[in-house]
Amino acid sequence: MMSAEEFEAMTADAPRPEWRGPEWRVSDGLVDYPTALAEMERRVADIREGTAPEQVWLLEHPPLYTAGTSAKGEDLLDAGGLPVFETGRGGQYTYHGPGQRIGYVMLDLKPRGSDLRRFVHDLEAWLIATLAQFNIRGERRDGRVGIWVVASDGTENKIAALGIRVRRWVSFHGVALNVEPNLARFGGIIPCGIRQHGVTSLADQGILASMPEVDAALKVGFAEVFRAQGSI
């Protein structure tokens, strides 16, 4: 019988199967929120039925606010004429608009152990890995959802948000990374219900990155995290 050491030596240089991640979709232009929601709903149903592959959809929305399942009315300060959409994702109020990269993540979590906590942790790790490619240190904070950047004066500002929904163990909604949005729009709400901290972006941090550059970093970061975790 071959020993474990002999088997390891024999297979060390053997070609490994190619990693197969989800389908990536990138939308040019702005996608209105009801259209995006309807398309996510259809894809989630198809993934559940086994008739469509998993997908990560990268897009931008026109200026709007969304209210998660934990949103409080008093946190909507002044919509300023922008539409406000109630949505089934977790979380509170947030702003979406041009210059913010949305990543809608539609994955079947059942083969991955139906572990929602781990999935959220991996989404956070994905954002952190993406930011690291631009030499920005993103950090988690207990009790504060999202990814945070610490300024030189010690203040902390949110650079990326996440809010998900799961239906029959297929995820949808996802993450939002501030590339170069109009940060003043966040003044119409208490973002994610957190009053004592602000928001920032790649541009606000001095990083002028194009959306294709951000997309490339997101794809690399996704593979690093989910392939390393064996999540896909």
Alpha helices in the chain (DSSP H): 4-11, 33-49, 116-132, 211-222, 228
**21-228 is classed in which CATH architecture?**
2-Layer Sandwich (3.30)
133 is catalytic: no
Alpha carbon distances (Å) from 156 to 93, 137, 153, 183, 197: 19, 12, 9, 15, 6
Can you give the pLDDT at residue 164?
Answer: 93
Can you give the pLDDT at residue 214?
Answer: 98
Can you give the pLDDT at residue 45?
Answer: 97
Can you give the pLDDT at residue 84?
Answer: 95
Cβ density class 54-65: b for 16+ within 10 Å, e for less:
bbbbbbbbebbb
Contact 149, 139 (CB under 8 A): yes
Contact 195, 187 (CB under 8 A): no
> Which tokens sit at 88?
């089934």
> Which tokens sit at 60?
């931008």
Q: What is the pTM of this model?
A: 0.88
> What is the spatial distance between Cα 201 and Cα 180, in angstroms, rounded to a whole number?
6
Which listed residue (71, 164, 192, 218) is catalytic? 192
CA torsion, points 90, 94, 97, 101, in degrees to nearest 10?
Answer: -50
Can you give the pLDDT at residue 144?
Answer: 83
Domain boundaries defined on the chain = 21-228
What is the mean pLDDT of each successive set of 10 residues along the chain, which is 232 residues long?
39 46 95 97 96 98 92 89 90 93 96 91 97 97 90 92 94 97 91 74 97 98 82 48
Contact 60, 101 (CB under 8 A): yes
